[in-house]
Amino acid sequence: QKQGYDWFMRKEIFEQPKAVADTLLGRLNERCELVLDELRISPETLRRINKIVIIASGTSFYSGLVAKYAIEHWTRIPCEVELASEFRYRDPIIDPMTLVVTISQSGETADTLMAIRHAREQHAKVIAICNTNGATIPRESDAVIYTHAGPEIGVASTKGFTTQLIACYLLGLYLAQVRGMKYGDEIDALLRELERMPAAIQHMLDQQQQVLDLAREFVDSPSVLFLGRHVGYPVALEGALKLKELAYIHAEGFAAGELKHGPIALINDGLPVFVVVPPRGRDQLRDKVISNISEVRARGAKTIVLGEADDAEARAASEVYIELPKVSTLLQPLVSIIPLQLFACELATVKGHDVDQPRNLAKSVTVE
């Protein structure tokens, strides 16, 4: 039931604080240690892993891209992310020391299923991150970390994405824990910060009116661009995917640093460009992204910037500023994606599209 919302998608966007809290529930003990009992792969095996390969499709692939930054940073294990549809056709190098992590909301995506079957034939260990109890992908994996988002009905994934991020963070931090990585208080602080994320997401939802107004303003734009760096880059890709799926308009996400290597030629007068600014503390990156805002603005783009509430420089560089709460860099996608989901949902609504059942799309893609 839509419980008073016009679309399941909008309801699911607003369910994210709870979905994230439920996905964290019971996975941290009172000493703030991670407990992932469902991971039926022994700590000894996890200590021997020398490579991680994340395989997924669509939005789940983008959560995998965020996971790569986090997992490599916390565990120092090399981590690749690959589209499931590409994986087995390139004769990938995997062996029993490879940990394959597959991410799928539905657990039934054919491309992803075929990819993990291939990985298991090469004797890799496979952990599934999945939202659907007993689906084919978790059944065919060695272990599963369930996201507890509840059923996702809207074709466009929203709470699927944010809860996948949580599961990926938990896995990364767990691997760091079992491998005895020494980060002083950093891991403890992150675990505590994860517990504050439902409130941070709620804070973003409470600011929705600004985004709804923007969607109305840009309803006739033929194209929208999204820029981000580091974990902001997958957020840019996901923001663009949401808009393509729901509003049927040209939308592209770019790594902001790539702008000068081509995409800047697309900028013309009035083109809406969303830019995700990294938190302060990653100042080198942040400075570069702020320069990118000026570069696209000088060429006529209308810049909509997502940055920390007290980042005066980012605010000054932008035309429209969407305030993000202060969170660690690696966790920022959990809050920066919220306005982009709301923007796509609202723009499609104003256009009169069926938001829950976009044309040509199915909720789970069970053919390769």
Q: Footprint of ligand M6R on this chain (CB under 6 A)?
A: 57-60, 104-106, 109, 112, 155-157, 245, 361, 364-365
The distance of closest approach from Cβ of residue 152 to ligand M6R in the complex, given in angstroms and rounded to an integer, is 9
The distance of closest approach from Cβ of residue 365 to ligand M6R in the complex, given in angstroms and rounded to an integer, is 5
Q: Is 302 a catalytic residue?
A: no
The distance of closest approach from Cβ of residue 57 to ligand M6R in the complex, given in angstroms and rounded to an integer, is 4
The answer to whether residues 140 and 156 touch, using CB atoms and an 8 Å cutoff, is no
Sheet containing strand 79-83, strands side by side: 79-83, 51-56, 98-104, 125-130, 143-146
Please give the Cα distance from 226 to 304 (Å, whole number): 9
Instruction: Find how far residue 143's CA is from the centre of its chain.
Output: 22
Sign for the pseudo-dihedral over CA of 287, 197, 203, 152: positive
In the bound state with ligand M6R, the residue whose beta carbon lies nearer, of 112 and 208, is: 112
| SS3 label, residue 1 | coil
The distance of closest approach from Cβ of residue 368 to ligand M6R in the complex, given in angstroms and rounded to an integer, is 12
* Tokens at 346, concatenated: 């609202």
* Tokens at 297, concatenated: 């603005």
Q: Name the nearest CA neighbour of 234 among 75, 64, 73.
A: 64
Q: Residue of minimal CB distance from ligand M6R? A: 58
The answer to whether residues 176 and 75 touch, using CB atoms and an 8 Å cutoff, is yes
Q: Name the nearest CA neighbour of 114 among 104, 105, 245, 160.
A: 104
Q: DSSP state, 109?
A: -
**Element (DSSP H or E) covering residue 320:** strand 320-324
In the bound state with ligand M6R, the residue whose beta carbon lies nearer, of 74 and 226, is: 226
- In DSSP terms, which residues pair with 102 in a beta bridge? 55, 128
The distance of closest approach from Cβ of residue 363 to ligand M6R in the complex, given in angstroms and rounded to an integer, is 7
The distance of closest approach from Cβ of residue 105 to ligand M6R in the complex, given in angstroms and rounded to an integer, is 4
In the bound state with ligand M6R, the residue whose beta carbon lies nearer, of 49 and 247, is: 247
In the bound state with ligand M6R, the residue whose beta carbon lies nearer, of 156 and 170, is: 156
Q: Tokens 């000054």 belong to which residue?
A: 316
In the bound state with ligand M6R, the residue whose beta carbon lies nearer, of 60 and 332, is: 60
The answer to whether residues 127 and 152 touch, using CB atoms and an 8 Å cutoff, is no
Please give the Cα distance from 119 to 58 (Å, whole number): 20
In the bound state with ligand M6R, the residue whose beta carbon lies nearer, of 278 and 358, is: 358
Which residues does the annotation mark as catalytic?
363
